[in-house]
Amino acid sequence: MKLRTKEQGVVLVITLIMLSVVTLMAIVFLGVSRRERATVTVTTDHINAKLSAEAGMARAQSEVVGRILSSSNRFDFDYAVSTNFFNPDGYDNSNFNYDPGNANYFLPNGNPIPDPYNQSVNIGNQFYDPRPPVYIEETEYNQQSRQFERQIDFRYYLDFNRNGRFEPSGLLPVLDENNRPLQDTETGENVWTRYVGDPQWIGLLEYPNQPHSATNRFVGRFAYIIVPEGRTLDLNTIHNQIKQTSNTQDFFVRNQGIGPWEINLGAFLRDLNPRIWTQYQYAGPGNNAENIGNSFRDAFSLLNYRRADRALAPLNVIANPSNVQLQQDFVDLFANGPYLLDTPWLASDLADTGNQIWWGSEYRRAFYDVQELFNGVKIPNADGVPASNDSVSDRVGRIPSLAQTSTYDRYTYYRLISQLGTESISDTTARSYRLAVQDNVPRLEEVRTNKLHLNYDNFSNHQTNYVNWSARDMFMLSANRLLMANMATNPPAFTYLNEVGQQYTAPGTNFHLLGDTYVDRDFSVTNIQIWPEKAPGVNEYSANLHQLLNWQPT
C-alpha cells in the first residue's frame, strides 16, 4: 500500500496555482486583444472618415474651379450640391455587359430592379460618380395590419430639407400639387426650370480606377453643398425693430439702407415663397403702425431669438462719437428719421444721439447653422409659443413635406439657404459665455456655440481645414462645455456663517450655481478656486464638479 506524502500534496497545489495563473493570463490576453481590435477599428473608421471628407472637399473645390475656368470668369460660381451619376433613361435590363453608362437602380418605368442578377449587374456598372447603396432601416405603422413594420429606405441622398422625399437637381419639369406638369398658357408646352435639390451621396471605391466588384468595394461616401458666402444675406444681422421695441409685434423700418439691419427679412420670406408666406403688409416709415402678416411674424420671431427679448446696447457703449458728428454726417445711422420720403438728401439728423439703441451692435444670441431653422422649440413663434404650427420652423419644415405639395414648395428650403447664411458670427465659447452673463439666461447651456466636431479642430481652425485636434484642446473644450451645460446664472443670494458664527449674505448676481455649489463668474476648467474658501469648509471643487470631470460612458 502506497502512502501519500506531504510533498505530493504541495505539488498538486502548485499545479493548480500555475493553472489558475495561466488561465488568468489567457483571459487578460483575450481582453487586451479585443480592446486592441476595437481600437484599430475606431482608428480605421476615423481615417476613412477623414479621407472621405477631404475627397468631398477637393471635389467641391474642383467643381468651383472648373466653372470658373470653363467660362474665363472668376465670378462664375454659384450655389450647388453634389450629384451622383445614373442613366436618366433607367436601367436597361437587356444589357448584361459591363457598361458604366447603364447604371440606375430603377427601370425605365420607375420601378426598382426586381431580380438579384440585374441588381448585381447594375452594382457592377457603378463607376462614374457612383451612387452607393445606402439603406436606412425605419419602423412605420401600417394602418391595415395595425402593426409596426420594418421598412428599408434606399437613401442615396442627404435629406437636408427634412421633407422625407428626394429632390433631384438639374433641368426638371415644374409640377403642381397633384404631381402634374404645369403648362405654358400660350404655347401649351410643359414648363421646365433648373432646380438644385438634395445633396447626393458619391461613393468612394477602394480602387477608384476600377468598377465596383466583390474585390473593389465602397470604403466611404461624401456629399457636399456649395454656398458662396459672399452671395448670401446674413441671418444674424438682418432686420430691426426700430420704430418700437415691442416684444409682441414687428416694427421694422427702412430709411437709407446703410446697414444690413435695414434689410427687410419679412420681404425676403414673402418673395421666397408667396404660397407659404401669404400675408405681407409693410406699414412704412413716419407712423407707429406695426407690420402685418405671417412673413413679418416669422421675421420678428427670428429677430427676437437673436436679441433674447432684450434691448440692444446703445452706440456710446461701443463707440463714442459726438452728437454733432452724428447729426451732421448726412447719414441716418439709427434709421429713426427724418425719412427720405419726398427728398433725396438728408441735410441734418437731429434725432441721432449716442445714447440710443443701435441695431448694428452685437446681439445676445446667434444662429450658427441653417438647420436651426427646423427647431421650433428653440425658436418660438412671434407670440413666444414653442413648437407652434404658426412659426417659421413649421413653414420651413412641415408644409414642404406634405403629400400634396408642388415642386415650388418642396424646394423652398434650398432656395432659402442659397440666399441666407449664418457665417458672420465667430463661434467661440468666450463670446457665448460673455453674452450669456449679459442675458441673465437661466442656464448657460442655452447659448452654447456650435457643436464640437469629433474629428477636426473647428475652434482654432475651420473644420474644412481638416486640422486634427490636440488631445489637450479636445479635453479642455469638452470639459468646459460640460461645465457650462450644468451651470445656472443668477442664483439666489449666497448666505453663509463665518468662523465666529456671524451671518453674511452675498448677492447671487456675483456667482453661478454648479449643482448646489456657488462658483465665481470666471469659473472654468482651468480656474477652479480651492483657496481662499467661499466659506469655512466650502470651495469650488465640489462633489458635483468631481462627478462631471470624472464621468465615463457606460
Task: List pLDDT tens digits, range 280-324.
Answer: 999 988 888 999 999 999 999 999 998 877 778 888 877 778 888
Q: What is the C-alpha separation between 202 and 82, in angstroms, rounded?
A: 8
Question: What mean pLDDT comes out for the span 179-204?
Answer: 92
Joined together, the cell numbers standing for residue 32 give 487586451
Of 493, 393, 509, whose CA–CA distance to 440 is shortest?
509
| C-alpha pair distances (Å), 313 with each of 262, 316, 327, 357 | 17, 8, 20, 6
Tell me whether residue 477 is in a domain.
Answer: yes
Domain that holds residue 531: 429-549
Of 287, 154, 234, 295, whose CA–CA distance to 417 is shortest?
234
Tell me whether residue 448 is in a domain.
Answer: yes
Which of residues 40, 61, 77 is at a domain's end?
77
In this structure, what DSSP letter does residue 499 have? T
Percent of the chain with pLDDT over 70: 90
Domain total in the chain = 2
Tell me whether residue 265 is in a domain.
Answer: no
Residue 274 has pLDDT above 70, yes or no: yes
Tell me whether residue 51 is in a domain.
Answer: yes
Tell me whether residue 38 is in a domain.
Answer: yes
Tell me whether residue 436 is in a domain.
Answer: yes
Which of residues 29, 52, 77 is at a domain's end?
77
Residue 445 has pLDDT above 50, yes or no: no
Tell me whether residue 542 is in a domain.
Answer: yes
For 491, phi and psi rounded to 5 degrees?
-75, 175
The string over 217-255, giving b where at least 16 C-beta atoms fall within 10 Å of a residue's C-beta and e elsewhere, is: ebbbbbbbbbbeeeebebbbbbbbbbbeeeeebbbbbbb
Question: How sure is the predictor about 456, in pLDDT bands with cuts at 50, 70 and 90?
Answer: confident
Q: Which residues pair with 477 in a beta bridge?
A: none
Of 133, 103, 130, whose CA–CA distance to 118 is shortest?
103
What's the confidence (pLDDT) of residue 179? Answer: 86
What's the confidence (pLDDT) of residue 91? Answer: 94
The string over 9-30, giving b where at least 16 C-beta atoms fall within 10 Å of a residue's C-beta and e elsewhere, is: eeeeeeeeeeeeeeeeeeeeee
What's the confidence (pLDDT) of residue 227? Answer: 92
Which of residues 36, 60, 77 is at a domain's end?
77
Question: What mean pLDDT comes out for the span 161-168?
Answer: 91
Tell me whether residue 28 is in a domain.
Answer: yes
Joined together, the cell numbers standing for residue 301 give 420671431
